[in-house]
């Protein structure tokens, strides 16, 4: 269970990072276009 909980925490962190990075990435793409 401990390993599974750690895996969930890592995935959750990765998803949060991806969501927070998307607007910035979108802005960069729009700026270059």
pLDDT of residue 1: 67
Instruction: Convert the pLDDT of each residue in 1-33 to its tens digit.
Output: 667 788 899 999 999 999 999 999 899 999 887
Q: Which single residue is written with the structure tokens 């910035």?
A: 24
- CA torsion through residues 30, 16, 3, 5, sign: negative
Closest CA to 24 of 32, 12, 7: 32
Question: Is the full-model pTM beyond 0.75?
Answer: no
C-alpha 18/C-alpha 7 separation (Å) is 16
């Amino acid at each position: 269970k401990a390993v599974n909980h750690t895996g969930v925490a890592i995935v959750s962190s990765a998803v949060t990072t991806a969501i927070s990075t998307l607007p910035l990435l979108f802005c960069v793409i729009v700026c270059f276009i």
